[in-house]
Structure 1
Amino acid sequence: MAQDNLSAILVKPNEIKLEQRPIPEPGPNQVLLQMEVVGICGSDVHYWLEGRCGPFILEKPMVMGHEASGTVVKCGSEVTSLEPGDRVAIEPGVPCRRCEFCKTGRYNICPDILFCATPPVDGNLARYFVTDEDFCFKLPCNMSFEDGTLMEPLAVAVHACKLGKVTIGSVCLVLGAGPIGLCTVAAFRAYGARKILVTDLLDYRLELAKKMGANFTLNTSGMDEDAVTEKVLSLLKEEPHVSVECAGSEQCARLCMKVTRAGGVMILLGMGGLEMTMPFGAALVKEITSIGSFRYNNDYPEAIEMVRSGRADVRGLVTHHFTLEETQKAYETHRDKIGNPIKIMIHCNPNWKPE
C-alpha cells in the first residue's frame, strides 16, 4: 500500500494540478480503495476546457475522474460483502436513499446524489478513494481493471437500451460514435438488435463501430439534415424502432425525431446544449416517445455480466494509457485527438507498468 494520496485536481478551466491529500478513512459501510484505472469521459473534458458540463458548473477546485476501478484495501466495521484484495468496478454516484426518487427505484435522478467529479463533489482520480460498499461491484476473474473502468459507459448504454425496450429484431440508429455511442452499439448487439446504423464525423470511430457490431456506418461530414435523413433511410431500408442521440448535437436530436418509425422511441443521451429547436410535429403524428436517459440505475451488474459472458466486448475502446503523473498529457491527447483516441486510461497505481 502506497503511503501517498496523489490526486489530480481541476483548479480552473485548462488547469489541472497534482496535489497530495490525506488518505481517507472509510466509514462503517464504506471501503477504502486503491485506485487502479480511471478513464477520461467527455464530461471530464468539458469541465477541463469550459468549467461546466450542461447545468453543472465548476465553482471550486475539484478532483477529477468518475469512470473507475480499484482494489479494496480496508473495510468499514459493518461491511459484509467485500474484503481486502477484492477487485471492483466503482459506480460513481451514491444517492441519498431517502427521497421519492430513491424510494421508487429511480436513484439516478436523486437530487442529492453525490456523483464523482460533478461539482461540487470530488472525483476518484487519485491514489486512494473511499466510497459506499454497495456501489462497488466485484470483477469476475476474466475481467481486467480496464474492463471494470469501462463498465461506467457500458452501464450508460444498458440503461438506454432498457428505456428504449430494445429487443431481438430491433432496428436501431446511433448518432455519435464516441465511447458512449460505441458502448451503445455493443449493448444493442447484446440485446439482439437486427440492424444497427451508426453516424459520426470521424472515419476511425466508424471503423471501430463496425468491429463492435454495427451493420452500417455513415460519415455525415458536410451533409445537411435532409441529406442525412435520406441516407439513413436508404441504408436501413426502413425506419428505426429506436434512435439514440449520443453526440449532444441539436442536428442529431432533430434527425432522431424525423426518422424514428411510428410508435418508436428516441433517446437523448448526449449532454449538449440546454435548449434545442425540435420538430415535435413529427413526433406528434407518429406517437414517438422521446426519453432523456441519464447515467444508470442498477445497470452495473448487467453490464458486467455482458462482458463476463462474452455477449459484449468493449476492450477495443481503449486506445491510450497514461500514469497519474501524466494526467495533463492525457487530457491534451484527448483534446488534440493525438493518435485517434477513443478511451484514454489513467493508471493510478504507482506499481503499474505498461505492457
Structure 2
Amino acid sequence: MSSSTHPTVNKASVLRPGGSFYYEDREVPALESDRDVIVRVMATGLCGSDVHYWQHGRIGRYVVEQPIILGHESAGIVVSRGANAVGVEVGDRVAIEPGIACNTCTACRSGRYNLCKDMRFAATPPYDGTLATYYRVPAECCYKLPGHISLRDGAMVEPLSVAVHGCRLAGDLQDKSVIVFGAGPVGLLCCAVARAFGASTVVAVDIVAARLESARKHGATHTYQMSAEKSPELNADALAATAGVSDGANVVLDATGAEPCINCGIHSLAQGGTFVQVGLGRPNLSLPVAQLCDKEAVFKGSFRYGPGDYKLAIALLDSRRVQVDGLVTNEFSFSQVEEAFQHVAGRGGIKSVIYGPDVDVEVANQSA
C-alpha cells in the first residue's frame, strides 16, 4: 500500500499492563481544533523508555495501569489539517514532536515548556504513543523534513533534539573540549552536535568497543573504551591521556545514567567545567560531590527538549552539519513489534525502527 493511500482504520500496537503486546483496530483520530494535524506514521524509532515500560511497567511515577500505545520517535506524512494549521500542508513529510504542553503555566510562559507539569507526552502513561497508523498533534509539533532525509531517518530528529538540548545547556562549545559518555544513539548524536557547535575535541566513551567504531563517523575526534576493572579516577586519568586533555574537559555530557560513567565524568572535568546529565539510569546514585565543589563545576540536568531544539535539529540536518546516516541499523515491519522490542532489549545494533502499518518500505527510505 502506497503512502498516498489512507486506510479508514487506525491499526495500533498496544501494550497490556504486565508486558504483552496485542494489535487492535481503533478509530482514526479526528481533528479536535483548527490547528490540529493528522499524520500518517511511517517510521518510529524505539527508545530505551519504550523498552523500560515493556519490561518493568513503569518509569518513576509513570505507571502502565491500562493498555497503552508506545512509541514517540516518529516521522510521517500529513494527511489532514485544520484550517489554521499554519505552515503545514497535506502531503508534507514531517518529524513529529511528541509532547503537547499546556502553553499557559509558568514553565511554558517562561520558555521552558519541556518542564510543563501538564505535558501530554506520547507513550508516557496515560497518553498513547505513535505505534499506530495515525497520530494527531498541533501544527507546531510538525517539522518539515529536509529533502535529502528519508522518513526512516526522520525518526531520528527526536533523539537528535535531545542531543541539541543537552549541548545547548552546556553553553558555548566553540573550541572547547567535550567528553560524551555512552555511544548509543543519543550519545553519538551528542558527539555530532558538539562538533557541529564548534568543539575542538570530542571524546566518545563506552565500555563496548563495537559501539565506539561508529563514533568517529558521528563527530568524535577521539574514543576511549572504559574499563570495568578500573576505578573512576584511573579511567579518568587514562581517558585524559588518550584524548590529550590533561587539564580535564571543559564539558562532559553523560548519555548513560550509569554511576561509574558519571563518577568518571566528574573526575574528568576541568576546573570550572560543566557537566550535563542527558541520560537516565537508577534514580539515586552516589556521586563525588567534593570533586564538583573543588572544581566549582556546574552540574545540570537535561530533560527532553524545549523551544527551538527541534527547529535547530532540522537545520543541522538540512545543512548537513550533522549526519544521521548509519544510525538506523535494524528495521522491523509493524507485524514484528515484539521482535523489535526484544532486539533492542538485547542491545542489538545502534537504532531500531518500526515501520507503520502497511507502509511501503521503499517509500519510507526515499528522500523527497
TM-score by length of 2: 0.93
Partner of 1:243: 252
Question: 1:36 pairs with 39, 42, 63, which one?
Answer: 42
Is the counterpart of residue 305 in structure 1 residue 311 in structure 2?
A: no
Is the counterpart of residue 198 in structure 1 residue 208 in structure 2?
A: no
Is the counterpart of residue 350 in structure 1 residue 355 in structure 2?
A: no
Is the counterpart of residue 261 in structure 1 residue 270 in structure 2?
A: yes
Contact 1:172 1:241 (C-alpha < 8 Å) held by counterparts: yes
Name the CA distance, whole Å, in 1 between partners of 2:359 and 2:97: 24
Partner of 1:81: 87
Is the counterpart of residue 112 in structure 1 residue 118 in structure 2?
A: yes
How much has 1:236 moved relative to structure 2?
Answer: 2.4
Contact 1:197 1:215 (C-alpha < 8 Å) held by counterparts: yes
Partner of 1:295: 304
Contact 1:34 1:349 (C-alpha < 8 Å) held by counterparts: no
Partner of 1:132: 138
2:298 partner amino acid:
T
Secondary structure (helix, strand or coil) at the match of 1:315 reads coil
Distance 1:221 1:10, change over 3 A: farther
Partner of 2:157: 151
Contact 1:54 1:271 (C-alpha < 8 Å) held by counterparts: no
1:126-148 Cα distance to aligned partner (Å, 9 max, x none): 00111111111111222211232
Partner of 1:185: 191
How much has 1:231 moved relative to structure 2?
Answer: 1.0
1:23-79 Cα distance to aligned partner (Å, 9 max, x none): 010122101111111000111111111112344322221101000011111112322
Name the CA distance, whole Å, in 1 between partners of 2:137 and 2:18: 27
Secondary structure (helix, strand or coil) at the match of 1:172 reads strand
Distance 1:255 1:151, change over 3 A: same
1:281 partner amino acid:
A
1:293-347 Cα distance to aligned partner (Å, 9 max, x none): 010012011101111111000121110111111111111111223xx41111111
Partner of 1:10: 15
Number of equivalences: 353
How much has 1:3 moved relative to structure 2?
Answer: 2.1
Is the counterpart of residue 46 in structure 1 residue 52 in structure 2?
A: yes
Within 5 A, what are the aligned runs for 1:258-337? 258-298=267-307, 299-337=309-347
Secondary structure (helix, strand or coil) at the match of 2:16 reads strand
Contact 2:42 2:359 (C-alpha < 8 Å) held by counterparts: no
Partner of 2:3: none
Q: Which runs of 5+ in 2 are unaligned?
A: 1-5
Name the CA distance, whole Å, in 1 between partners of 2:281 and 2:94: 31
More displaced stretch, 3-12 vs 53-62: 53-62
Name the CA distance, whole Å, in 2 between partners of 1:353 and 1:145: 10
Secondary structure (helix, strand or coil) at the match of 1:262 reads strand
How much has 1:349 moved relative to structure 2?
Answer: 4.5
Contact 1:45 1:331 (C-alpha < 8 Å) held by counterparts: yes
Contact 1:175 1:246 (C-alpha < 8 Å) held by counterparts: yes
Question: 1:20 pairs with 4, 25, 39, which one?
Answer: 25
Is the counterpart of residue 227 in structure 1 residue 227 in structure 2?
A: no
Partner of 2:349: 341
RMSD of aligned residue pairs (Cα, Å) = 1.4
Distance 1:148 1:351, change over 3 A: closer
Secondary structure (helix, strand or coil) at the match of 2:330 reads strand
Secondary structure (helix, strand or coil) at the match of 1:80 reads coil
Name the CA distance, whole Å, in 2 between partners of 1:39 and 1:265: 30
Name the CA distance, whole Å, in 2 between partners of 1:279 and 1:179: 27
Q: Which runs of 5+ in 1 are unaligned?
A: none
Name the CA distance, whole Å, in 1 between partners of 2:191 and 2:244: 19
Identity of aligned residues (%): 36
Name the CA distance, whole Å, in 2 between partners of 1:277 and 1:55: 22
1:220 partner amino acid:
M
Name the CA distance, whole Å, in 1 between partners of 2:83 and 2:276: 42
1:320 partner amino acid:
N
Name the CA distance, whole Å, in 2 between partners of 1:14 and 1:201: 29
